[in-house]
Amino acid sequence: MRVKIVDVAREANVSVATVSRVVNNIPLVNEETKERVLEAIKKTGYKPNAIARSLKIQKTNTMGIMIPDITNPYYTEIVRGAEDVCGIYHYNIILSNTDFDPEKEKKSLNVLVEKQCDGIIYVGKDLSAEMQAELIDAPSEVVLGCIPDDSGFLSGVLINNETAAYELAMELIKMGHKKFMLFFDELEEGYIYQERKKGFIKAFEENNIEFDDSRILREKLSLSGGYTMMQEAINTGVDFTCVFCFNDQTALGAIRCAEEMGKKIPEDISICGFNNFWIAEWTRPQITTVAQPMYDIGAIAMRMLIKLCEKDGDRTVKNVYVPHEVHIRGSVTEIKK
Amino acid sequence: MRVKIVDVAREANVSVATVSRVVNNIPLVNEETKERVLEAIKKTGYKPNAIARSLKIQKTNTMGIMIPDITNPYYTEIVRGAEDVCGIYHYNIILSNTDFDPEKEKKSLNVLVEKQCDGIIYVGKDLSAEMQAELIDAPSEVVLGCIPDDSGFLSGVLINNETAAYELAMELIKMGHKKFMLFFDELEEGYIYQERKKGFIKAFEENNIEFDDSRILREKLSLSGGYTMMQEAINTGVDFTCVFCFNDQTALGAIRCAEEMGKKIPEDISICGFNNFWIAEWTRPQITTVAQPMYDIGAIAMRMLIKLCEKDGDRTVKNVYVPHEVHIRGSVTEIKK
DNA sequence: CTGAAAGCGCTTACAG
DNA sequence: CTGAAAGCGCTTACAG
């Protein structure tokens, strides 16, 4: 049996109120009784029941984090950043993988709310109107990761995807590329997709580069998805010298396929990823990509969330844009005229 | 304000007991009143308070998972396996990164216990006597990941590291290698370290291969750690044709360093990793390694843990050894005599 | 400085 | 089939 506060009280010959006071470090306790209580706690091995405490004080010091897939290195870093900040402020996180599945998301949000999470971080590539409404409605505080809020009720931490894509495209255009392809997600039409597409197309248009949707391929954003898309791109005989992949895994898959099909990377095809996952400069060729400060996104989001949860914390709601960085590496090269 | 059970009761004109019964799907409720309650729940938007429920029924349906670092792809997979199983059985996980730090581990265990986790999965490379005692003592159920228990009080899920290392070494020996180096962790002397070392040395001895501890290098087990060790190995002029790295990141770092120093991999040096992280066959060269079923380790451990937590679940305590697989890939080759 | 008591939001014997 | 009541283990005004 777990020992409870009343056992300690009995042992120390005081009331439970007094024990509670010393456990919670409330000052107005006589030094001597405090000693006695401390002794009793040690002797009995008492550990406060946080559940009971939470029920009483209406605060769990537990945060929920909804993330598509912890296995995706991009999200892994976010979680690590969030958890580290939690540790500092004596919170814990409940982790929930949602796999971009609206049903799972709804269920997950529900249990996080039922478990009385003080706050919830919602990470995704898009925010459906329905999900947005649920998040605004939720009694827990909410901060978005990687997507902004447009309702004025939520906060978000993210990079400017449009600018990032634009800058990346401009670099490749400067290198002489004119014939591009995009390797994007199989289904997605959501926020990040739109933003990046806007950025790429803006760069294309400013430079009078022809582009239409037939140059967008769609598959799972994975090593094998990238492989498949490259296969298709080469087989259908489209004319292209450069590919923008939605993430680095996809880019690496595409690189491998191209190599196997006899292409030299970057001489024959320049290939770019996105996110700068931890291994991007250790592959051969190294992957040209846009670095997102993923750890920081998690850490900043969590900091904001904690402030929302604390009594006199900052309650300003805002979208925070964190800096990105274009990294030009070995997977791309100037076009030879 | 969150709506509570009494609000629903008032709305439906029944007692809280009745509301509780329909919420928990307890059969003996009149169909008609049930309808009325359901309606009231929908109207009020009632969501049960899981904290209050937990306090009453003495069960949180929350599991703790203590893991060195979620950012290490090896552990990421374990967490995913564990979380997926949790989802099936309506549990959630609190994630805690411990960074191999005994202090953090102790603190973490403490809050998981205070938060009344039904069970805890402890993942690590070693189990100190102190930690073992604390885990046995903990009121929450415990299952170990990646390490076995020798006390008879805990369960564990892991591969046989000695056999795995032995088999890997034998493959390389068959290829004609005789001069080996080991790239191991900077500090570690723990369980997994010992087991693997035993396995390697057993293979060496059986084949009359000379080996002593001067052939073990130690550094952080990371891309840059592997890089550093290879640099040192080459610079000190030790004679070797094959390196066993403690994990795949280290192997990849070692490969890159060797390449930069003008060595051809695998022609000049054969390099092996361990774990078969998700990218191991997409690097160039592909990494020879031992695959651990990491997802399964997490999933199985969680299944066992849940059984321990359920009323009439299987309470057998045992160490479960899951199969590993040696993958010979492009980072190694036969030695040319 | 300390204790008795109420209450956090549930569940569940028990009685009817 | 339904409700009144006790109790899960805490915290915290309130009184002394």
Consecutive 10-residue averages of pLDDT for chain B (337 residues): 89 92 88 90 94 96 97 95 97 96 96 97 94 95 95 95 98 96 88 95 95 93 96 93 97 97 95 96 96 97 94 82 97 87
Inter-chain touch A70–B48, beta carbons under 8 Å: no
A274 three-class SS: coil
Q: A233-236: long-range contacts (C-beta < 8 A, 24 or more apart)?
A: A233/A181, A233/A183, A234/A258, A234/A261, A234/A263
Question: Band of the pLDDT at A115, cuts 50, 70, 90?
Answer: very high
**How many angstroms separate the CA of A49 from the C1' of D1?**
36
Q: Would you state the pLDDT for residue B314?
A: 73
**Minimum-distance residue to C9 (CA–C1'):** B52
Question: Band of the pLDDT at A70, cuts 50, 70, 90?
Answer: very high
Residue A139 CB in 7 A reach of strand C:
no
Is B256:B294 a contact under the CB 8 Å cutoff? no
Is A145:A159 a contact under the CB 8 Å cutoff? no
Query: Cβ-count burial of A17 within 10 angstroms (0-12 exposed, 13-18 middle, 19+ buried)?
Result: exposed
Closest nucleotide to A56, Cα to C1'? C8
Query: Cβ-count burial of A116 within 10 angstroms (0-12 exposed, 13-18 middle, 19+ buried)?
Result: buried
Q: Would you state the pLDDT for residue A154?
A: 94
Q: Which amino acid type is present at position A143?
A: V
Is A327:A164 a contact under the CB 8 Å cutoff? no
- Which chain B residue's Cα is nearest to A104? B87
**How many angstroms separate the CA of A104 from the C1' of C6?**
40
Residue B59 CB in 7 A reach of strand C:
no
Give the C-alpha separation, B301 to B317, whole Å: 12
Inter-chain touch B284–A282, beta carbons under 8 Å: no
As its CATH architecture, domain A5-48 has Orthogonal Bundle (1.10)
CATH of domain A161-291: 3.40.50.2300
Domains B60-159+294-325 and B161-291 share a fold: yes
Inter-chain touch B50–A223, beta carbons under 8 Å: no
Least Cα distance to B95 among B50, B82, B106, B87 occurs for B82
Q: What share of chain B is helix, strand, coil (3-state, %, to 5)?
A: 45, 15, 40
Provide mean pLDDT across the span A25-44: 89
Provide mean pLDDT across the span A297-323: 90
**How many angstroms separate the CA of A64 from the C1' of C4?**
38
Q: Would you state the pLDDT for residue A195?
A: 96
Which of B48, B70, B282 minimises the CB distance to A70? B70
Least Cα distance to A282 among A242, A329, A324 occurs for A329
Provide mean pLDDT across the span A128-145: 95
Which of B87, B94, B284 minimises the CB distance to A94? B94
Q: What percent of chain A has pLDDT over 70?
A: 99
What are the pLDDT digits (tens) for A173-199? 999 999 999 999 987 688 999 999 999
Which of A60-74, A90-104, B308-322 shows the lowest mean pLDDT across its residues? B308-322
Provide mean pLDDT across the span A118-135: 95
Residue A28 CB in 7 A reach of strand C:
yes
DSSP code per residue over B54-95: HHHHT---EEEEEES-TTSHHHHHHHHHHHHHHHHTT-EEEE
As its CATH architecture, domain A60-159+294-323 has 3-Layer(aba) Sandwich (3.40)
What's chain A's average pLDDT?
A: 94
Interface test with B, best of A51, A250, A259 (most B CBs within 10 A): A51
Inter-chain touch A83–B71, beta carbons under 8 Å: no
CATH of domain B60-159+294-325: 3.40.50.2300
What are the pLDDT digits (tens) for A216-267? 999 999 999 999 999 999 999 899 999 999 999 999 999 999 999 999 999 9
In angstroms, what separates the C-alpha of A90 from chain B's closest C-alpha?
A: 9
Query: Which residues of chain A are within 8 Å of residue B52 when distances are taken between CB atoms?
Result: 55
Inter-chain touch B79–A95, beta carbons under 8 Å: yes
Q: Would you state the pLDDT for residue A337?
A: 61
Inter-chain touch B114–A55, beta carbons under 8 Å: no
Go through B206-241 and write b for each residue having 16 or more CB atoms within 10 A of its CB, e for each that does not. eeebebeeebbbbbbbbbebbbbbbbebbeeeeeeb
Give the C-alpha separation, B241 to A99, whole Å: 44
Domain extents in chain B: 5-48, 60-159+294-325, 161-291
Task: Determine the straight-line distance between the first and last CA of chain A, rounded to whole angstroms.
Answer: 79
